[in-house]
Amino acid sequence: MPYNIAMISDFFFPQPGGVESHIYQLSTKLIDRGHKVIIVTHAYQGRTGVRYLTNGLKVYHVPFFVVYRETTFPTVFSFFPIFRNIVIREQIEIVHGHASLSSLCHEAILHARTMGLRTVFTDHSLFGFADAASILTNKLLKFTLSDVDHVICVSHTCKENTVLRASLDPLMVSVIPNAVVAENFRPLSLPTTTPSDGLTSPSSTHTPVPAPHHLGPNSTITIVVISRLFYNKGTDLLIAAIPRILASHPKVRFIIAGTGPKAIDLEQMIERNVLQDRVELLGPVRHEEVRDVMVRGHIYLHPSLTEAFGTVIVEAASCGLYVVCTRVGGIPEVLPAHMTTFAKPEEDDLVAATGKAIALLRANKIRTEKFHEQVKLMYSWTDVAERTERVYDGISGVLSEEEFYVGFRSGAGWSATRGRAGVQSFALIDRLKRYYGCGIWAGKLFCLCVIVDYLLFVFLELWAPRASIDIARNWPKKVVLHGSAKHEESGSGVARKRSARHREKRRDVETDNF
């Protein structure tokens, strides 16, 4: 059934990154499945106001002050007026926030619950429990997720981390991994179009595997690194390992793409060891240029210190690169063992793992030319969209409790404050109960924020009535038939109208409880 969905995050294009790519790809696939999706992010240099992307994806660039790493300054309440205006204009039903460090995401979920909207949060990161920054971030996450309908994590490790950080019921958290558009990350050995006329015939669904490319003992092996040059991405580990790897293997060179505060340290290491002819620094690269950089190499090195999923290593494997990565976070869940060599996040082990990968390639024991087809079968954004749509159905009441939670014992997790299937109640008193349990002092502060937010909502309803806000026209949708279709199409119309009436009726009942 079609929903009107708002994706909220500080992180979106033109900034490159895994979260940005995830939001864009998921949004376009949801639009293909008949939903209306908009994106709300902050204004970037040269991008303000409303923009339209491919497939009619509308992006609102809200003018807010950026503090650090494209994160807006947290104000709690100042985002509410413009957020309410956007939600009413676009007739939004579900607010889907992304990233733990996004201020817009946290504020949007708070305001959406006050307005009586369903909310979903996707966590893309891992955080610790000991340092001050992690403690504050975890407390903020607990505040937001105390009143959210469902949480999505990109790996099982990420789910365990989020459940512990926010004290969540594990039933409220689903694992839906990232994916990759395999056609955009093809090895050089694969042609871009199979038939001679450039059109792919329906019967040619299988791409022939190219002949293996053998490396000789004197062949030059290129190691590619594409990453933001920050501490958590293992740049210090990379700086320490590169001179030792190059000293042990004369026929090896590096290509490094990315930018960040550690770029200066990397340049100093190259100058200090006189490695200008063996280490090529490309600086920042656009996401559409990543494939062109990857296909120049044989090995992809990923020395990250913390990673929830690591989409870039899937892209590297799709390009036919053998992956050397650290065994941290959710990385071991991403690719099968024959595509990767794991190392501890230590200098000695990373050097040894890279040497092992070089030896395997020189011995021609790795069939990297098969990686692309294997990755293509493992990851699909269409599958991610279908699973996310099921979450939307679950929180909207379309799916029953037994259908939404397979194997869940009926009645085991019901409570007055949570309602059926873990879906949170909109009643203000129930919301205050949930926030009050967040801590001795923090709970009282959170309750105060919710009360002020509710009073601000009442004021905005009086000051700027809904009737005075124009409804935006929807982008014309292309008709997509799933499966065999006339029967499905004729039946789905009735089902969609019935479910829409059901959602409206349910929302009216729940808002009466305020």
Q: Cα(7)–Cα(86) distance, rounded to whole angstroms?
A: 12
The CATH code for residues 4-179+382-405+415-474 is 3.40.50.2000
Mean pLDDT value across the chain: 83
Which has the closest alpha carbon to 457: 83, 202, 119? 83
- Percent of the chain's residues with pLDDT above 90: 50
Which pLDDT score is estimated for 503? 53
Over residues 411-425, the pLDDT tens digits come to 444 333 343 444 667
What backbone torsions phi and psi does residue 221 show, to the nearest 5 degrees? -105, 130
3-state secondary structure 411-443: CCCCCCCCCHHHCCCCCHHHHHHHHHCCCCCHH
Domain limits, the chain? 4-179+382-405+415-474, 182-379
Question: Is the confidence at residue 509, as pLDDT, over 60?
Answer: no
Which pLDDT score is estimated for 495? 42
Mean pLDDT to the nearest integer, 310-338: 92
Strand 57-62 relative to strand 71-72: parallel, antiparallel, unpaired?
A: unpaired
Over residues 366-414, the pLDDT tens digits come to 888 889 999 999 999 999 999 999 999 999 888 887 788 764 444 444 3
- DSSP H helical segments within 224-346, as ranges? 235-248, 263-272, 290-294, 311-318
Which pLDDT score is estimated for 381? 93
Which has the closest alpha carbon to 463: 139, 171, 67, 81? 81
Question: Is the confidence at residue 200, as pLDDT, over 70?
Answer: no
Which pLDDT score is estimated for 223? 95
Tell me whether the omega of the peptide bond preceding residue 210 falls within 30 degrees of 0, making it cis. Answer: no
- Region of poorest pLDDT, from 7-21, 150-164, 301-315, 394-408: 394-408
DSSP one-letter code for 378: H
Q: Cα(383)–Cα(371) distance, rounded to whole angstroms?
A: 20
Tell me how far apart the 2 most distant CA atoms of the chain are, in Å.
77
Over residues 207-238, the pLDDT tens digits come to 555 555 667 777 889 999 999 899 889 999 99
Q: Cα(448)–Cα(452) distance, rounded to whole angstroms?
A: 6
Which has the closest alpha carbon to 189: 316, 369, 371? 369
Q: Cα(37)–Cα(286) distance, rounded to whole angstroms?
A: 24
DSSP one-letter code for 149: S
Question: Is the confidence at residue 501, as pLDDT, over 70?
Answer: no
What is the CA 57 to chain-centroid distance, rounded? Answer: 17
- Percent of the chain's residues with pLDDT above 70: 84
The CATH code for residues 182-379 is 3.40.50.2000
Give the model's confidence band at 504: pLDDT under 50 very low, under 70 low, under 90 confident, else very high: low
Which pLDDT score is estimated for 481? 54
Same fold, 4-179+382-405+415-474 and 182-379: yes
What backbone torsions phi and psi does residue 265 show, to the nearest 5 degrees? -60, -35
Give the model's confidence band at 17: pLDDT under 50 very low, under 70 low, under 90 confident, else very high: confident
Give the model's confidence band at 363: pLDDT under 50 very low, under 70 low, under 90 confident, else very high: confident
Over residues 168-192, the pLDDT tens digits come to 888 889 999 999 988 889 998 765 5
Radius of gyration of the chain (CA): 25
Over residues 49-63, the pLDDT tens digits come to 899 988 889 999 999
Q: Is 347 exposed, middle or buried (0-12, 13-18, 19+ CB in 10 A)?
A: middle
84-119: string of b/e by CB count within 10 Å (b at 16+)? bbbbbebebbbbbbbbbbbbbbbbbbbbbbbbebbb
Give the model's confidence band at 167: pLDDT under 50 very low, under 70 low, under 90 confident, else very high: confident
Q: What is the DSSP string of 309-320?
A: --HHHHHHHHTT
Contact 397/503 with Cβ under 8 angstroms? yes
Over residues 288-319, the pLDDT tens digits come to 889 999 999 999 999 999 888 888 999 999 99
